Amino acid sequence: MRVFRCRMSFVASIVALALASSAVAQYEEASEGQLDLQTVQELREQAVENPNLEDEVQKQLTDLYGQAIGHLKTAEKLSDRVVEFQKERSAIGERIDSIRSRLDKLKVEPARGISDESNAEQIGDLLNQETARLNSLRETLREVENLAEERTTRRVEIAERLGVLGEEFNAIGDEIRSISQLRAPSELKQATRIALLARRRALSGERESLRAELELVEASSNLIPWQRDLAEGLVGTSEDLVALLEQTLLRKRQEDAARSLEQVREQTRLVEETVPNLLEIAQRTELYAGILWGSEGVIVESSRLNTLIAETRRFITQLERIAQLTRRRFEAVGHRGDITQWWPDMPEDFPRTSQTSIPNVQYQLIQLEQERAGFLQFEREVRKLTAALEAKEAEEDSTEVRDLRRTQVHMRRAQLDTLIIYYTRYSVELVENLALMKRLLLLNEELSSFLYERALWGRSVPGSALPDFRAAFDALLWFHSSARWSPLWSLLRHRC
């Protein structure tokens, strides 16, 4: 029985060796175009299960076949990418037609969501929604603007990689030709050859994938301008709609404020005719109404400030885009090119300096809060002023006096509460606007420093052969600014 088992084991080994030899012979003169993933996987399994191989040889065979399997799988994935790139490239024409159609239909819809019955709160909600949409559209525009730069960068990367692939192909060819000179078992030689062929297959797949991607990048050069046109169009229409909503909201608030102020003035006239004792209080209430609803009141000023904040944010976004493009252009041409190749075109409406100041609203807010905290005392004073008059008047007349008193008390309380709300909000808005203006001026200063530091070494000046007077004057001011040189003087003084 033992002899029979030994003979069966010997026969199994012979069969395994025969299968391995057959597989090896199959790939004796194979090229990467004839490699088959399933067969290589079978070869790896046979190497693992072959008991006649030394452990070190078995490990090397397993690693080599594993590498080959990995390269072949990579080649399959790269082949799928080629199909994806080709599919995307073939769809560019349809995408351009779709964008062209959207551009033809693009227009501002001033009446969207607005009617004569819309109140200030409803218009404010629409404005907030459209402002959020505008910010999203601006971000999309920034991404589209970066596409052209990324396309150029990617094209260079692909060209460099294709050059490296050529060298790697030659190196693999040399390695394949040198296999016959290796002092190693035939199984290792063949496994090494298969691993190299699989690697070359993967490199070939990468080369085809890069070429397909390069064709897509080139074809996208026609699509990107259309994408930018659409993004700019959407931003433009949204900006127009935001401006319209801001104007409508300001006008609505001014109309509401004028009506409210007129109602308070009517009450003051009625008090003057009916209850002269309350005239001073009524005039004070009218003064608060002017602070709240007047043409220069806090509600109107808050609306104007919100518009200024939105405008400042737009300038910041625009300046960030200008600075980014300027730096990229300079990196592309450097001092080898002239200044006109990288000097930015600044918008004409761009603010050069800030005249914004913050009024002392904190003190006024504290005064209003103190008066509101002592409002019960105010009610007692009003009641005291009208008590004697109510006692003298008839029942009907005294009722009118009490109504006027309650109206004055109610109006004063409502005005104080509203003033505190708006002054708190206005104070926060002023701080926000100040921070934005500082940010804007800082960005402008950073861009000016970048420009003038490099303009000193430029071969020409922006615009023409003659320098722009304002740009040259600003450059001289910047160059002679004490803020530019004070760090140097300080350093020299400490060292000396």
pLDDT digits (tens, 9 = 90+) for 320-340: 888 877 777 777 666 666 666
> Of 210, 445, 226, 435, nearest to 319 (Cα)?
445
0.75 exceeded by pTM: no
Whether the Cβ atoms of residue 244 and residue 265 lie closer than 8 Å to each other: no
Report the pLDDT value the prediction gives residue 26, as an integer from 0 to 100: 43
Give residue 108's pLDDT.
Answer: 55
**What was the pLDDT predicted at 60?**
85
CA separation for the pair 221, 217 (Å, rounded): 7
Q: How many CA atoms lie within 13 A of 484 on its CB side?
A: 14
> Which pLDDT belongs to residue 334?
67
For residues 42 and 23, give the distance between their C-alpha atoms in angstroms, rounded to a whole number: 9
Q: Please give the pLDDT value at position 209.
A: 93
Residues of the chain with pLDDT under 50: 1-30, 32, 111, 352-356, 394-396, 460-466, 488, 491, 495
Only one residue has tokens 């609306």, namely 303
User: CA 397 from chain center: how many Å?
Assistant: 67
CB 57 within 8 A of CB 188: yes
pLDDT at 113: 57
Q: What pLDDT shows up at residue 397?
A: 53
